[in-house]
Amino acid sequence: MNQSTEQSKRAATLREQINLHNQSYYQFDDPQISDAEYDLLLRELQALEEKHPELIRLDSPTHRVGAPPLKIFEEVRHVVPMLSLNNAFSDEELVDFGRKVQEKMGNTSTEYIAEPKLDGLAISLLYKEGVLVQAATRGDGKSGENVTENIRTVHDIPLRLKGDFPVRLEVRGEVFMSKRGFEKLNQQAEEKGEKLFANPRNAAAGSLRQLDSKITARRSLSFYCYGYGEFPEQNLPENQIDLLEKFNQWGLPVSPEVELVHGIDGCIAYYKEMENRRSALAYEIDGVVFKVNNFSSQRLLGSIARAPRWAIARKFPAEEAITTILDIDVQVGRTGAITPVARLAPVFVGGVTVTNATLHNIDEIRRKDVRIGDKVVVRRAGDVIPEVARVLLDKRAPSTRLFNLPAQCPICQSAIEKTEGESVSRCSGGLFCSAQQKEAIKHFSSRKAMDIDGLGSKLVEQLVDEGLIQNIADLYNLQLEPVMALERMGKKSAENLIAGLEKSKQTTLAAFIFALGIRDIGEVTAQTLANHFGSLGAIKAANEEALLETQDVGPIVAKHLITFFQQPHNLEVIDRLQQAGITWDDVIIDSTRELPLQGKTIVLTGTLERFSRDQAKKALQELGAKVSGSVSSKTDYLVAGNNSGSKLDKAAKLNISVLDEDQLSELLLGKP
């Protein structure tokens, strides 16, 4: 063998090995060799290519590490314009879009492809003979910037396609940065004292528009494709879903959240599902996109101005908005925790008008350097309590003021204390503090606890403020007349309250333990304790050793339980509650037999007809099951009601048993 064939063979072997290691590292998170060993392989290939430029191939992994810096980006004209999308901000606007599609198509139920709307930037990739030869940004839709060198460093994007692809094709998709990648990048920037990126979208755009692709190579960018530009007519499949399938076969990544849905009802259900799952996704999405699935229908519908008539983006309400902090107060929680709260100039965010946002604790205030009068970004994601995300420091006025925690509880004047090593400060007043009294009573009466109908939080405040009650046991001594006499209370509401109290007396052991509001005892731990010990007497009597035998109970929780049941005040309240008539059936524990669903993890999805989600969850938990919110390899069963969405697909992929509502009933009745 002469020297040049030997070298070209070595280069090919190195390329293959490096590609495999890239796959293990970037796709499977499972590196097979050390970074140093990897570097050796890469450097050997780089040296070979430097010495013998004829060995350089467009799909060589050496391009992944970046090329010499550019002076400027060249312009690329898009042969097929890169369009934008029309937006729908409500279900009505979506229905309107569906109606127009239907009118034009004349059929009754159109198939749509539902895709997440990735929050990054649109990119066009040109492949010739399966090799990536050019990548461009969208620009103004007619021409964009040539970012080929940078795009080659994005590991999700294949430098060479697999399988049977058209000779020339242009793929379009979104380059974006994962939430984790973004956090890491900002953390590094913070350590170096550099400017932070505002969001993953800006970080992705900033990373891709680097003239030095070696910088891009160090940023963790991802890619999903969702469309095509130049594409030979004869190779185009019938539907968008088939095209995405082809992309996958060619090695181009497609979002696993993509679904085929029927009619606008299907679109609305998908939107709702993604809205719920949004915060759990690894990357940011700002809505979902619906596209008519069939390509000939798409052609018939055509485009107007810069957007197609066959697609629409249903946008989520913005989760962040800018406003001003008017003042900072503190709130006292059920366990005395002091939470500083920013009073804001009203601002519309996450679909509602927000006037308060949590600042968590004093350490957070210092870390974010929040001051009264600051312009801030307020964030409200899903059902999470609105929070002050960050301060716009460059907009800070000289008149802003520092905030300090008060030394005394604003409600009961007891000292505020902070335990070393904890970030939370607490009011030391205990149940002497009326704020803590109120919160304890609100918790006791809440739906998942004693579920007292007719007792909302406003009424609790009124009852405490008027001196009618001080603690949870006092609730059951309430008489009709004094309640009726309260401001804004009629006879009817007072009667409702008394009836609600009466009804709440029949409860379960788990709900009662949860209702007591013992620190760190949530719904699930309360259920576990009830299942494990069977009676309140047994829980009260349990020592640390016995408690630690319970699943999920660690030393801290055990300590809270013991302390709680040692306090005479608490024991007296429990006695009074039982004397007032609160009862439950003790849980029968047969120590020779485990609970039938012990150790099983079950996920509920879709709408059930005979049960509410909460009822089904409670019933399953009573039989020992763990009810979780998302499907994973640890899931034993997925219970799927009507309109179940992507959880079903995930369960199918992971080979998890799916139960319908009848099978759920059988499971609850203990049938095999």
Active site amino acids = 117
Q: Mark the segment that binds ligand IVH (CB under 6 A) among 81-89, 92-100, 410-418, 618-626.
A: 81-89
Q: Which of 18, 185, 268, 311 binds ligand IVH (CB under 6 A)?
A: 311
- 3-state class (DSSP) for residue 40: helix
* Residue 245 C-beta: closest distance to ligand IVH, Å: 15
Residue from 553, 508, 552, 559 nearest 534 by CA = 508
Residue of 31, 139, 206, 308 that binds ligand IVH (CB under 6 A):
308
Rounded CA-CA distance 598/367 in Å is 44
Q: How far is the CB of 627 from ligand IVH (least distance, A)?
A: 32
Give the other-Cβ count within 10 Å of 91's Cβ. Answer: 14
Part of the chain binding ligand IVH (CB under 6 A), chosen from 118-126, 179-187, 266-274, 566-574: 118-126
* H helix intervals, 392-456: 434-445
**Number of residues located near ligand IVH, criterion CB under 6 A:** 16
CB of 289 to ligand IVH, least distance (A): 4
From the list 261, 296, 276, the residue with the least C-alpha distance to 115 is 261
Nearer of residues 120 and 340 to ligand IVH, judged by Cβ:
120
Judged by CB under 6 A, which stretch of 116-124, 376-384, 482-490, 576-584 contacts ligand IVH? 116-124
Q: Does 84 bind ligand IVH (CB under 6 A)?
A: yes
241 contributes a contact to ligand IVH by CB under 6 A: no
Q: Is 254 an interacting residue with respect to ligand IVH (CB under 6 A)?
A: no
| The one among 48, 55, 94, 122 contacting ligand IVH by CB under 6 A | 122
566-570 long-range contacts, Cβ below 8 Å, gap at least 24?
569/431, 570/516
Bridge partner list, 134 = 126
Using the minimum distance from each CB to ligand IVH, give the nearer residue, 17 or 240. 240
Which residues in the 269-288 window bind ligand IVH by CB under 6 A? none
- Give the whole-angstrom CA distance, residue 518 versus residue 547: 14
- How many other C-beta atoms can be found within 10 angstroms of the C-beta atom of residue 352? 10
Q: Got the DSSP string for 236-285?
A: --SBHHHHHHHHHHTT----TT-EEEEHHHHHHHHHHHHHHHGGGSSB-E
Out of 115, 145, 319, 374, the only residue in the binding site for ligand IVH (CB under 6 A) is 115
For residue 11, give the amino acid letter.
Answer: A
- Residue whose Cβ sits closest to ligand IVH: 122
Q: Choose which of 11, 243, 313, 328 interacts with ligand IVH (CB under 6 A).
A: 313
Q: Does 85 bind ligand IVH (CB under 6 A)?
A: yes
Spatial separation of the C-alpha atoms in residues 425 and 409, rounded to whole Å: 10
3-state SS assignment for residue 162: coil
Q: What is the crossing angle of helices 179-191 and 200-208, to 10°?
A: 80
Q: Which of positions 528-567 make contact with ligand IVH (CB under 6 A)?
A: none
Region from 307-315, 452-460, 524-532, 583-591 binding ligand IVH, contact rule CB under 6 A: 307-315
Minimum Å gap between C-beta 531 and ligand IVH is 45
661 φ/ψ angles, rounded to the nearest 5 degrees: -65, -40
User: Between 61 and 227, whose beta carbon lies closer to ligand IVH?
Assistant: 227
Which sign, positive or negative, has the C-alpha torsion 598, 604, 609, 613?
positive
Residue ranges that bind ligand IVH, judged by CB under 6 A:
83-85, 115, 117-118, 121-122, 138, 174, 226-227, 289, 308, 311, 313
